[in-house]
């Protein structure tokens, strides 16, 4: 039999050159800025350099690589609204990383500003400590450049958006890693910079690749209900449009469906089916008002809406008087529409709408155009806080990212200083967070606070409208338990800094103290003696031993006990411990693929209790330091963070066919309390499907019941068959799989 002939697709070079030029012209046309001659020269020069540098490179899809930088530049120009420098940097963003051109070459051709932005966009090269995350280090480096120029972040977001739009040509494991990073870091960052459209698209694409079935299911249901939704929106809008016209408003009014991702969040968080998510769309009213009249006009429109439809008083959000930290301004209300359906209505001006859609760039355009603005812009204040938290670049990059994330998606409260200055803080902030927000030294010496003139402890949670006065003492110093009740990145990083400095002092004092104890017991100070002592005290880390000495945990008695046996002690561990990098290499092996076989006992892996994977689930292996490999479901609550931060410790995994082994799975059953219902459920489980139960509990409340079961099943097909049987029991309303172990 002849081997199949593989043909390489013929590349039409002339055709590709024409297409590259067409895309370049499309980029120039799409820009929202007017370019002068110098701008055009800069963009053309960057384009020529990029085309030449990438001329032999192709993307995974087979397209010329230059299509990608042009697409990124177009997003920067059209969807974010940046100017010529940013467009040039977007065209050049991969040149230093992927070609022979150096940063010095870029500086020579385009100047220091462009070189600085390109440097922030270029991934870190070189070797890192294997316990760190390269992705976290790259992200931190990019944020460090934010202190100089926010365009670095905006171009990076455009780069990530185009990568997500073209993710189909990547293999599944790469898709999962990139989509997880996107949901974990880049979508929250876009949200914080006010890039609402980009945030929404990144979230939807992230869900599409991490949970394809869920994404496709919701997307299809949105398409199926589109006509019905359009009829309802038309019916809702008609009376409002008439009155708005009568009152001489210039306006646009339309219905806008919520994103797939936000609908999925509602389904997940409220545990309701798609059909019961009431705010699948929002009505948006955008008015064309001069800046001095915007606020009053938004409230006039709100008044018209509530003349027709009854508002829910708990669902009014006034971001016109107090904008969000990302600059977002609007009035949101939820009203009772026709057919007893709650509908969200958003009212904003054209200026507010552009800021909401374009974020940072539009924000600055309006800021530059206004003669007088607020004393400190909310978005500028957020960027100032980021620069502050970046002022300590030491420490673990992953800790830094975790702290940084705390301030990305947090809702806000507004609190006041004794002099009436308003400060924005994340929800759940405490008096101690506020102290650190005022100044690091005030935070470090804080002993309590007066909130609305009443004395409260450091851990007191603040509410919007609170007036806070901080009480300090020079004798106070940060303590470890402070970490338990602060939520802001600034407070966490400053407390860690103080504790680290304090520990270093204690270690130094402990070293001196130990030498005195050795002298007292007539022991020499040699390295060998100290290592033997560490082995005797079961201390693998010398600094930990010194710290314990300074804290009084290692006394003269232990030293005397050591003297008696010191000659019998073998110094240090018998076999060298592996670094994490060696551990990962040995576990991964050459295939980078884990097959989960029938004999669980002989393999170094465990099924993770956070998501209880069973055969048939889409799974991956995560290499831990002490517990071998842990198997997680791809949709595990912790999966996105693991794949984003520790991609190099992820192992592909698949199940072999198993019928003999049983796995524990949780099921929740909700229904109407009827006589014999529990009996019917247990009959199906034990008799019809021969399933063994490990745990069962039922709770009834005013005619409803909720049952939790832990059962042993072979795989997902077995579990699905059981759940379908249970759904058919008379009185059962809903059957769901639960992830938590009982």
Whether the Cβ atoms of residue 462 and residue 434 lie closer than 8 Å to each other? yes
3-state secondary structure 458-503: CCCECCCCCEEEEEECCCCCCCHHHHHHCCCHHHHHHHHHHHHHHH
Whether the Cβ atoms of residue 705 and residue 673 lie closer than 8 Å to each other? yes
Structure tokens that stand for 362 in this block: 């539009």
Residues 6+ apart with CB under 8 A from 317: 330, 331, 332, 333
Pairing of strands 412-416, 331-337: unpaired
* Known catalytic residue at 314: no
* Known catalytic residue at 381: no
Selecting among 52, 97, 441, 592, the annotated active-site residue is 97
Pairing of strands 629-633, 605-607: parallel
Phi, then psi, of 532 in degrees rounded to 5: -65, -40
H or E segment and range at residue 426: strand 422-426
Residue 184 DSSP label: I
Whether the Cβ atoms of residue 462 and residue 413 lie closer than 8 Å to each other? yes
| β-pair partners for 471 | 448
H or E segment and range at residue 335: strand 331-337
Which class for 158: exposed (0-12), middle (13-18), buried (19 or more C-beta within 10 A)?
Answer: buried
Selecting among 63, 98, 149, 380, the annotated active-site residue is 98
Residues 6+ apart with CB under 8 A from 578: 586
Q: Report the SS3 class of residue 643.
A: helix
Report the distance separating Cα 700 and Cα 697, nearest Å. 10
H or E segment and range at residue 47: helix 37-53
Whether the Cβ atoms of residue 35 and residue 84 lie closer than 8 Å to each other? yes
Active site residues: 97-98
């Amino acid at each position: 039999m002849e081997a199949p002939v593989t043909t390489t697709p013929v590349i039409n070079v002339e055709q590709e050159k024409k297409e590259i030029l067409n895309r370049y012209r499309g980029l120039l046309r799409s820009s929202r800025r007017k370019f002068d001659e110098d701008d055009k020269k800069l963009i053309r020069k960057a384009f020529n350099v990029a085309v030449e540098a990438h001329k032999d490179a192709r993307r995974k899809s087979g397209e010329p690589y230059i299509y990608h930088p042009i697409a990124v530049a177009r997003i920067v120009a059209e969807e974010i609204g940046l100017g010529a420098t940013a467009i040039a940097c977007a065209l050049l963003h991969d040149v230093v990383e992927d070609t022979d051109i150096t940063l010095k070459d870029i500086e020579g051709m385009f100047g220091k500003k462009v070189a600085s932005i390109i440097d922030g966009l270029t991934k870190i090269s070189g070797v890192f400590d294997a316990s760190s995350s390269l992705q976290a280090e790259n992200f931190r480096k990019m944020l460090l450049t934010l202190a100089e120029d926010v365009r670095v972040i905006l171009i990076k977001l455009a780069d990530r958006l185009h990568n997500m739009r073209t993710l189909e040509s990547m293999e599944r494991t790469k898709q999962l890693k990139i989509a997880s990073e996107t949901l974990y870091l880049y979508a929250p960052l876009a949200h914080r910079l006010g890039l609402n459209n980009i945030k929404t698209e990144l979230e939807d694409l992230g869900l599409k690749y991490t949970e394809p079935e869920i994404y496709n299911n919701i997307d299809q249901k949105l398409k199926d209900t589109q006509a019905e939704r359009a009829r309802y929106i038309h019916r809702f809008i008609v009376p409002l449009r008439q009155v708005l016209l009568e009152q001489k408003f210039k306006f646009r009014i339309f219905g806008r469906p919520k994103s797939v991702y936000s609908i999925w969040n509602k389904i997940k968080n409220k545990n309701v089916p798609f059909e019961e998510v009431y705010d699948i769309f929002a009505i948006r009213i955008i008015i064309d008002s001069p800046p001095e009249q915007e606020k009053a006009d938004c409230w006039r429109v709100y008044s018209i809406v509530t003349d027709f439809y009854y508002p829910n008083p708990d669902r009014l959000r006034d971001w016109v008087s107090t904008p969000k930290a990302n600059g977002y301004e609007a009035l949101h209300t939820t009203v009772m529409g026709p057919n007893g359906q709650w509908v969200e209505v958003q009212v904003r001006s054209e200026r507010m709408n552009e800021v909401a859609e374009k974020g940072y760039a539009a924000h600055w355009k309006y800021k530059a155009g206004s003669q007088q603005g607020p004393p400190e812009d909310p978005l500028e204040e957020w960027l100032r806080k980021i620069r502050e938290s970046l002022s300590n670049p030491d420490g673990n990059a992953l800790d830094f990212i975790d702290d940084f994330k705390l301030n990305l998606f947090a809702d806000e409260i507004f609190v006041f200083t004794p002099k009436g200055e308003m400060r924005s803080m994340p929800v759940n902030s405490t008096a101690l967070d506020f102290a650190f927000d005022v100044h690091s030294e005030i935070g470090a010496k804080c002993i309590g606070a007066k909130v609305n003139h009443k004395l409260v402890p450091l851990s007191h949670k603040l509410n919007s409208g609170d007036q806070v006065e901080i009480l300090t003492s020079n004798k106070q110093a940060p303590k470890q338990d402070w970490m338990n009740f602060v939520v802001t990145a600034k407070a966490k990083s400053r407390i860690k800094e103080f504790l680290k400095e304090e520990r270093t002092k204690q270690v130094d004092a402990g070293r001196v103290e130990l030498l005195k104890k050795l002298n007292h017991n007539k022991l020499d100070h040699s390295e060998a003696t100290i290592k033997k002592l560490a082995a005797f005290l079961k201390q693998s880390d010398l600094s930990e031993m010194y710290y314990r000495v300074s804290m009084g945990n290692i006394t003269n008695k232990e030293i005397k006990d050591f003297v008696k046996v010191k000659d019998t002690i073998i110094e240090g561990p018998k076999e060298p411990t592996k670094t994490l990098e060696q551990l990962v290499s040995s576990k991964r092996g050459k295939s980078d693929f884990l097959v989960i076989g029938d004999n669980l006992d002989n393999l170094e892996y465990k099924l993770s209790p956070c998501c209880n994977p069973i055969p048939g689930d889409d799974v991956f292996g995560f290499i831990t330091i002490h517990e071998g490999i842990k198997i997680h479901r791809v949709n595990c609550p912790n999966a996105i963070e693991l794949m984003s931060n520790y991609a190099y410790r992820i192992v592909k995994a698949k199940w072999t066919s198993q019928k003999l082994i049983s796995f524990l799975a949780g099921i929740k059953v909700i229904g109407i309390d009827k006589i014999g219902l529990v009996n019917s459920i247990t009959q199906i489980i034990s008799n019809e499907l021969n399933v063994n139960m490990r745990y069962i509990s039922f709770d009834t409340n005013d005619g409803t019941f909720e049952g939790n079961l832990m059962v042993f099943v072979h795989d997902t097909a077995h579990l699905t068959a059981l759940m379908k049987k249970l759904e058919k029991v008379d009185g059962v309303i809903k059957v769901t799989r639960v992830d938590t172990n009982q």
